[in-house]
Amino acid sequence: MESNTRSIAKAVSYRILGSLATAMIFLVLTGDWKMSAAAGVSDSVVKLALYFLHERMWNHISFGREKAPPPEYEI
């Protein structure tokens, strides 16, 4: 299982890239720096929260994970 800190770091780095892409698309479409910056920031805030929740939910789903072998004890 991943720690909360790792999930947050992954979410932040992914959202920086995604929000820059959103801001660039808005800039191309509108030519307005303020609107593109606002779109990038709002995109980042909303999707960062959604990504974090998504990651935490998947930590409770066993689909696709291999079960850890039982510990071996020496007698």
Beta-carbon contacts of 33 under 8 Å, excluding residues fewer than 6 positions away, are 27
Over residues 6-51, the pLDDT tens digits come to 988 887 888 789 889 999 999 999 999 999 999 989 988 888 788 8
Mean per-residue pLDDT over the chain, rounded:
87
- Model pTM above 0.85: no
Domain that holds residue 22: 4-58
Residue 64 lies in a domain: no
CB 48 within 8 Å of CB 11: yes
Residue 67 lies in a domain: no
Residue 45 lies in a domain: yes
Over residues 48-71, the pLDDT tens digits come to 788 889 989 988 988 888 888 888
State how many domains the chain has: 1
| pLDDT at residue 27, rounded to an integer | 95
CA angle centred on 23, ends 20 and 27, rounded to 5°: 135
Q: What is the DSSP string of 52-70?
A: HHHHHHHTT--TTPPPPPP
Pull the structure tokens for residue 20.
């820059």
Residue 74 lies in a domain: no
Residue 18 burial by CB count (10 A; 0-12/13-18/19+): exposed, middle or buried?
Answer: middle
